[in-house]
Structure 1
Amino acid sequence: MTEPAIVLTLSCRNRPGIVAAVSAHLFESACNILDAQQYDDTQTGNFFMRVVFNRLDGAASREGLRAGFAPLAERFGMAWSMRGADERRRVMILVSKFDHCLADLLYRWRTGELAMDLAAIVSNHPREAFSHLDFGGAPFHHLPVTKDTKLEQEGDLWRLIQEVSPDLVVLARYMQVLSDGLSAKLTGRCINIHHSFLPGFKGAKPYHQAHQRGVKLIGATAHYVTSDLDEGPIVEQDVERISHRDTPDDLVRKGRDIERRVLARAVRLHLEDRVILNGSKTVVFTD
């Protein structure tokens, strides 16, 4: 059987010779490049690259390849990662009352579309609220919250995150705002789905806001969580055309479909190492 590919992602200040150095290093390490994408952000002067390669006869182990690449990365001041495509990420999903995104992620997980290990499902609602869903053996944690117990509940959530050690936390319509402290701890590894086409219509009831403004397009946005509410780096977005005949309920119904597919695409892009942070933005290398 063909050995699974390895994915290298990197970012650094742009300077001549980066691509040549990376390519030459992989060649000299007995590796074969299968796919390579790069982006030079001329406004910030930053460089981004995603390389997929496999090991040939005589190549070092994955650990050896990581150790061998480290000096080159240090020379160019790179932020980088090197991971086997078969190394599955551990994912924790947080959800509140609305379960359509959770149900969609569970389906894509069971069918293998999302190559991840479901480490935990967490909700501020009891398990009975999701009795119609098959969690496939994934552990469920009920962390109830009220206005008076929010700090305590978030402390319990953080302890659970430390215990479970997820690589990615997904807010699948989790209707609790994370504190600045927790948001900072989860930088770059927490994706939220916002039921609006950001940066417009933030906060509560965005579809009702959109209806009042008479918009002709509605959308949804998946973004990384930061301390600035609904302003984190955007990973994925999509829209759908609507008309004056659509009621707020119609917009909510159509919005659910957009939210499902936008969140699923964002999670897949993250799992496949296709997203690299670029300050308040992202570089997304599509397939």
Structure 2
Amino acid sequence: MERLVPARAGNSTAVQFTLEGFPAVQHLGKVLFLLHLLAYLASVTGNSLIITITWADRHLHTPMYFFLSTFSFCECGFITSVIPKLLTIFMSGRQMISFAACFTQAFVFLFLGATIFFLMAVLSLDRYLAICKPLHYHIIMNPRVCFLLVTACFSLGFLLMVVPIIKLSQLSFCGSNVIPHFFCDFGPLTNLSCSETRSTQMLFFILAFFVLFTSLFVTIVAYSNIVVTIMRLPSAKERQKAFSTCSSHLAVLSLMYSSCIFIYMKPKQMSRLDSNREAALVNTVVTPLLNPVIYTLRNKQFHQALRDALSRVKLQK
């Protein structure tokens, strides 16, 4: 196994890490490459379609679709920060990644991941206001408030994740340079350091706890009120339709929160890294693929906007 001399940010250009990937199934590299490539293309295409149609159709210039298009933008960046490198590992076996590229990947992944969770809380709040406070919805969710909410999500995601990544990059790395993961994540990188990492781990644990449980609390409160409001609907058909939409949203939310809580809600991430790897795969491949379908592509209003856009393209030809 390769060895590295102790390294800090000052001589980081000499440091190379090796992403282990999935060694147990590496012999299926070409098959896994194809499967993950298809999932990646489907996710990026679906999210890009949401962004394009939302901005092209004036009927979708509403707070909900503004938040959804921002959410889709983050999803594209989130999955792109991880999957292309995983595809390279599957296809060519090139597992090396430089110090700068590794920490850039870790920061982009965590920054966009935190932003996505805050956006999900905003989306839940938006649905709560639309369903439970319809008369005040457009007064509260005016363009200025929508812009401020999105700016707050990005700002919080950046500020909360940049500090632990900077602290992590200043640690010494020596001994094994093999990261037992398919991308540069905080826990596996911490375990490679030969410095004292307790304070860095605890800082990240506190910040991750704040991101996950703040957004989770807002989501639970919002959907609890939505359910109460739905139960008061006079028509059984309306209740069934509303519950169908809510249940699909909650299924995706459950996947995302459960996988992230399993991975990050441990002060010491020394154990079960193999299990973390599988949970991270759900978070980086499965949920970004499901989100476009659940949040927008099943929506009749979006379907109509898509048909209108296709009709305009045909007329132009």
| TM, length-normalised to structure 2 | 0.23
Which of the two has greater helix per residue? Answer: 2
Which has the bigger relative contact order, CA under 8 A and spacing at least 6? 2
| TM-score (structure 1 length as normaliser) | 0.25
